[in-house]
């Protein structure tokens, strides 16, 4: 059997030039000073303590809080993380960070998202952690607004590239759980799919295309998942909505490189969701890799107890946003 690590190395080797392996700078994990956070409804994803508590912002990077990327009228904001001494005349790649929460809950400043943003920013990226439309009331329909909001985030980052000091042609995305669904929607959908040109949405003249995308333990085949409250309809009532909200139906050989990460002990979103995405990607000729984490449950950041994932994630983004060879995993020591 081919191990996930071998699969990742072989795929990247096939697409990358031979260059010297860069060192990944050692970083310290986020120190969690927690404050209680109230959730809107009991989603299984919110069981871990890291999602039930908010974490103070890191001081190792610069944070611009509550940016109105959707316009002042919208309550959903973004936090933008940049290296402390970033010279905007020397642009860095940008990364959109998309939180999870079953499309009902979650926040841009939860512990998991801050862990991702801090670690990636310390590796030379500008990260934008976003909030998007969530279901807060019974029978409230929030899809496809969540997709529009995510695409607007890419557009905003591209529009403000000069002010943020990023390369507008090098923007990636990473999302966890529900955020993986949205990250993969960014990667797989284009103008012909009906999500890019939407009346009254901001920055319609700017492309929402990403150069690569990472997804952690998310549902990407909603036709073979449970009923989703964001649709306010069951699968039996509206199968077309569930199909339309499933990234697997948009995969083709024009998609950017994609990395999936999923644990074998996930009881919220089965590993089969990512396996299905990988299988269809291979069938369609898309560049996709699945990294399986033995014994990992649902919901973890870049430093779960099973394995330090910072080298894996950094290597992927370095490859496709910086044009560098994947960094050796030994360069970043485990800290948990």
What was the pLDDT predicted at 246?
Answer: 98
Using the predicted structure, report yes or no on whether residue 264 has a pLDDT greater than 80: yes
Separation in Å, CA 41 to CA 103, 136, 279, 292: 11, 9, 34, 29
Give residue 140's pLDDT band: very low, low, confident or very high (50, 70, 90).
Answer: confident
- Which one is predicted more confidently, 105 or 79? 79
Selection from 9-18, 50-59, 224-233, 282-291 with the highest mean pLDDT: 282-291
What was the pLDDT predicted at 177?
Answer: 98
Residues above pLDDT 70, as percent of the chain: 80
Provide the pairing of β-strand 126-130 with 92-98. Answer: parallel
Give residue 30's pLDDT band: very low, low, confident or very high (50, 70, 90).
Answer: very low
Mean pLDDT of the chain: 85
What was the pLDDT predicted at 47?
Answer: 45
| Separation of alpha carbons 174 and 116, rounded Å | 9
Condensed to tens digits (0 to 9), the pLDDT of residues 201-258 reads 788 899 999 999 999 999 999 999 999 989 989 999 999 999 999 999 999 999 999 9
Name the pTM for this structure.
0.83
Burial degree of 49 (CB within 10 A; 0-12, 13-18, 19+): exposed
CA 276-293-291 angle, to 5 degrees, is 50
- Which one is predicted more confidently, 182 or 49? 182
Task: For the chain, list the domains and their CATH numbers.
Answer: 4-14+40-324 (3.40.50.1820)
Rounded average pLDDT over 115-125:
98
What was the pLDDT predicted at 325?
Answer: 61
What was the pLDDT predicted at 49?
Answer: 54
Q: Which of 43, 3, 74 is nearest to 176 (CA)?
A: 43
Using the predicted structure, report yes or no on whether residue 178 has a pLDDT greater than 70: yes
| Separation of alpha carbons 130 and 303, rounded Å | 21
């Amino acid at each position: 059997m081919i191990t996930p690590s071998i699969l990742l190395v072989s795929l990247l080797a096939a697409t990358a030039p031979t260059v010297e392996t860069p060192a990944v700078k050692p970083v310290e994990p986020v120190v969690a000073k927690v404050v209680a956070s109230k959730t809107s409804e009991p989603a299984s994803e919110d069981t871990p303590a890291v999602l039930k508590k908010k974490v103070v912002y890191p001081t190792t990077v610069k944070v611009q809080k509550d940016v109105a990327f959707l316009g002042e009228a919208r309550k959903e904001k973004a936090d933008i993380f940049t290296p402390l001494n970033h010279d905007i005349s020397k642009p860095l790649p940008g990364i959109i960070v998309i939180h999870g929460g079953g499309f009902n809950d979650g926040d841009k400043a939860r512990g998991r998202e801050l862990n991702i943003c801090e670690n990636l920013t310390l590796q030379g990226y500008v990260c934008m952690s976003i909030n998007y439309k969530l279901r807060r009331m019974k029978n409230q329909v929030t899809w496809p607004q969540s997709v529009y909001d995510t695409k607007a985030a890419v557009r905003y980052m591209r529009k403000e590239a000069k002010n943020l000091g990023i390369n507008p042609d090098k923007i990636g995305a990473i999302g966890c759980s529900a955020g993986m669904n949205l990250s993969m929607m960014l990667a797989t959908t284009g103008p012909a799919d009906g999500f890019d040109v939407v009346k009254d949405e901001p920055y319609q003249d700017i492309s929402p295309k990403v150069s690569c995308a990472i997804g952690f333990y998310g549902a990407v085949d909603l036709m073979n998942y449970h009923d989703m409250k964001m649709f306010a309809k069951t699968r039996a009532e509206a199968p077309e909505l569930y199909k339309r909200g499933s990234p697997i139906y948009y995969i083709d050989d024009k998609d950017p490189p994609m990395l999936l990460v999923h644990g074998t002990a996930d009881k919220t979103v089965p590993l089969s969701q990512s396996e299905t995405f990988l299988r269809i990607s291979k069938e369609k000729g898309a560049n996709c890799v699945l990294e399986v984490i033995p014994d990992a449950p649902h919901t973890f950041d870049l430093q779960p107890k099973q394995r330090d994932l910072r080298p894996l994630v950094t290597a992927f983004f370095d490859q496709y946003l910086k044009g560098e060879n994947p960094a050796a995993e030994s360069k970043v020591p485990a800290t948990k």
